[in-house]
Amino acid sequence: MAPKRSFLFYFAVILVVLSTLAHEAEARRKILRGRRVMTRTYYRGSAVPAWAVSLLAGLGMLLAGAALYALLHKLVLAADAGEVNTYQPALQNDV
């Protein structure tokens, strides 16, 4: 029997996935210095590198494709056709 995973484990996994989907942020702040107003721009990149996001997206697509293939294989290919003929010849008028 597999050990039960805690709520914190699943919460951490969800946070990692959401962090890969979060975009980079850019912020501006006005700083008052005397009579002049200075504008500073802060740029914060994503914590996860782009190659890791691409890798996770590719693995997700592979897993989704494998799951869809297994589902369709079970429903369509492995389904028993029974006594029903799947091929019917075209009608011909031989009169």
Q: What is the mean pLDDT of residues 59-70?
A: 94
Domain that holds residue 54: 9-77
E strand or H helix at 37:
strand 36-44
25 within domain boundaries: yes
As for how many domains the chain has, the answer is 1
* Displacement of CA 4 from its chain's centroid (Å): 25
DSSP classification of residue 47: S
72 within domain boundaries: yes
* Displacement of CA 90 from its chain's centroid (Å): 46
- Which tokens is 44 given? 């914060």
48 within domain boundaries: yes
pLDDT digits (tens, 9 = 90+) for 33-64: 666 666 777 666 777 777 888 888 899 899 99
3 within domain boundaries: no
* Residue 87: pLDDT band with limits 50, 70, 90: confident
94 within domain boundaries: no
Instruction: Say yes or no to pLDDT of 21 above 80.
Output: no
**Local structure of 59: helix, strand or coil:** helix
| Euclidean distance between CA atoms 43 and 46, whole angstroms | 10
Instruction: Say yes or no to pLDDT of 82 above 60.
Output: yes
Q: What is the pLDDT of residue 30?
A: 64
pTM: predicted TM-score of the whole model, two decimal places: 0.45
82 within domain boundaries: no
